[in-house]
Amino acid sequence: MILIKSAKEIDLIRESCKIVAETLQLLKKHVKPGIATIELDKIAEDYVKSCGGVPAFKGYSQAGSFDFPGTICSSIDDEVVHGIPGSRILKEGEIISIDMGVKKNGYFGDAALTVAVGNISEAKQKLMKVTEESLYLGIKEAIVANRIGNISYAVQAYCESNGFSVVRDLCGHGVGRRLHEEPSIPNFGRKDSGPVIKNGMTLAIEPMINLGKYDVTVAFDGWTVLTDDGLPSAHFEHTIAIVNGKAEILTVC
């Protein structure tokens, strides 16, 4: 069931989303060669708690996995999503996806961005640029009376026209009272398919786009999703609310 939020609920989600956005911008400033992903995780957790929020990912579990140990997911190069923060040191030329969620006053916010570590290749630059642009093209389709498939189609058409592939095994989702709610929002699909978009929906749209083929696998840790061909992947995400017929991006600061 897709939960329709009241204006008051959207305000509460907006508050959590603001903390997410501020934390991601703070982390972006700290991404550089030589920093360990666990250091980024600590910066994130400290900031979230200072704002009265709770890290939404820490302790989260899914079928067949242990509880996620980090505040952020830190996914480097061929790690698509759900990378576990640890002792790995960032190196010049890598890209890192940082994904995180916050719970405050019973409501969640969720967002992600991909950041260059120093100077990166032109191929990675283009991958990041196209992935982020596809997110905004998807958001543009999130208007009342459109369908979820219009978001999916916009992302897929743009990314594939630029020579990239769209991960099939993972998708965006509703967000609000729970971190993951209905509807699922694939990054591929047909126009005018799926649920109708209505005022009061709160959605996390998150293109996960690969430089090579779209096939992925899950690492032995049960969390980290990797590209099968070892080529890089980029990931951008915003939480939006449908207000007065169109999308309002909540994960901005």
Whole-angstrom Cα distance, residue 105 to residue 177? 10
Q: Which pLDDT does position 148 carry in this prediction?
A: 98
Q: What are phi and psi of 106, to 5 degrees?
A: 85, 5
Q: Strands 216-218 and 181-185, how do they pair?
A: unpaired
Q: Which pLDDT does position 29 carry in this prediction?
A: 98
Q: Which pLDDT does position 65 carry in this prediction?
A: 75
Q: Please report, in tens digits, the pLDDT of each residue of the chain (253 residues total).
A: 999 999 999 999 999 999 999 999 999 999 999 999 999 999 999 999 999 999 999 999 877 678 999 999 999 999 999 999 999 999 999 999 999 999 999 999 999 999 999 999 999 999 999 999 999 999 999 999 999 999 999 999 999 999 999 999 999 999 999 999 999 999 999 999 999 999 999 999 999 999 999 999 999 999 999 999 999 999 999 999 999 999 999 999 9
Whole-angstrom Cα distance, residue 241 to residue 238? 10
- Find, among 221, 176, 175, the residue nearest to 74 by Cα: 221
CATH architecture of 7-249: Alpha-Beta Complex (3.90)
Q: In what order do the strands lie in the sheet with 165-166?
A: 165-166, 208-210, 233-235
Q: Which amino acid is at 188?
A: F
The residue ranges of DSSP E strands in the chain, in sequence order, are 54-55, 72-76, 79-81, 95-104, 107-116, 165-166, 172-174, 181-185, 202-205, 208-210, 216-218, 225-227, 233-235, 238-243, 246-249
Cα–Cα separations (whole angstroms), residue 61 to 10, 26, 30, 82, 193: 26, 26, 28, 12, 30
Q: Which pLDDT does position 94 carry in this prediction?
A: 99
DSSP string, 60-101: ---TTSPPP--SEEEEETTEEE-PPPSSPBP-TT-EEEEEEE
- Find, among 149, 184, 178, 201, the residue nearest to 6 by Cα: 201
What is the per-residue burial (b if ≥16 Cβ within 10 Å, else e) of 75-97? bbbbbbbbbbbeebebeeebbbb
Q: Which pLDDT does position 62 carry in this prediction?
A: 77
Q: Which pLDDT does position 222 carry in this prediction?
A: 92
Q: Which pLDDT does position 188 carry in this prediction?
A: 98
Q: Which amino acid is at 94?
A: E
State the burial class of residue 238 (Cβ atoms within 10 Å of its Cβ: 0-12, 13-18, 19+). Answer: buried
